[in-house]
């Protein structure tokens, strides 16, 4: 059974702060890791992908992967109210489908 665990939140941060979102996964053979942003009533939007240990930065977003600890995280710097959404962690086992966590709801307070 492949499992992806996330804190459901809600996580509230003030505008301009760093939001830290965490995810653990159970399948050691997982190779690809993704963060999706989902606004209420909308479909998931891919914001970050990471495949190797370490950090990957894209604008205000940084994804961190530690395969030994089976842990992946997303940092959002200079959080904006428009970042308020549910963030879904997804793990691909290298074959085909994605396994998703239940998502962490983030609220950025102006």
Partner 1 sequence: GAGVSQSPRYKVAKRGQDVALRCDPISGHVSLFWYQQALGQGPEFLTYFQNEAQLDKSGLPSDRFFAERPEGSVSTLKIQRTQQEDSAVYLCASSLVRGDLALSYNEQFFGPGTRLTVL
Position 87 contacts partner 1 (CB under 8 A): no
What is the distance between the alpha carbons of residues 84 and 50, in angstroms, rounded to a whole number? 22
**CB contact at 8 A, 24 and 43:** no
Angular region, 96: left φ>0, alpha ψ -120 to 50, beta rest: alpha
The residue from 1, 69, 82, 96 that contacts partner 1 (CB under 8 A) is 96
Alpha helix (H) residue ranges in the chain: none
Q: Which residue in the set 43, 54, 69, 110 belongs to the binding site for partner 1 (CB under 8 A)?
A: 43
Q: Does 80 bind partner 1 (CB under 8 A)?
A: no
36 or 108: CB nearest partner 1: 36
As a residue count, the chain comes to 110
The verdict on 99 binding partner 1 (CB under 8 A) reads yes
- The minimum distance between CB 36 and partner 1, in angstroms, equals 8
Positions in the binding site for partner 1 (CB under 8 A): 4, 31-32, 34, 36, 42-46, 49, 51, 88, 90, 92-103
């Amino acid at each position: 059974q492949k499992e992806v665990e996330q804190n459901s939140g809600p996580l509230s941060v003030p505008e301009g702060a760093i939001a830290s979102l965490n995810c653990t996964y159970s399948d050691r053979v997982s190779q690809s890791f993704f963060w999706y942003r989902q606004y209420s009533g909308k479909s998931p939007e891919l914001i970050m992908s990471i495949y190797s240990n370490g950090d990957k930065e894209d604008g205000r977003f940084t994804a961190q992967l530690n395969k030994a600890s089976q842990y992946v995280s997303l940092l959002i710097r200079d959080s904006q109210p428009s970042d308020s959404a549910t963030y879904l962690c997804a793990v691909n086992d290298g074959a085909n489908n994605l396994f998703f966590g239940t998502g962490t709801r983030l609220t950025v307070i102006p």
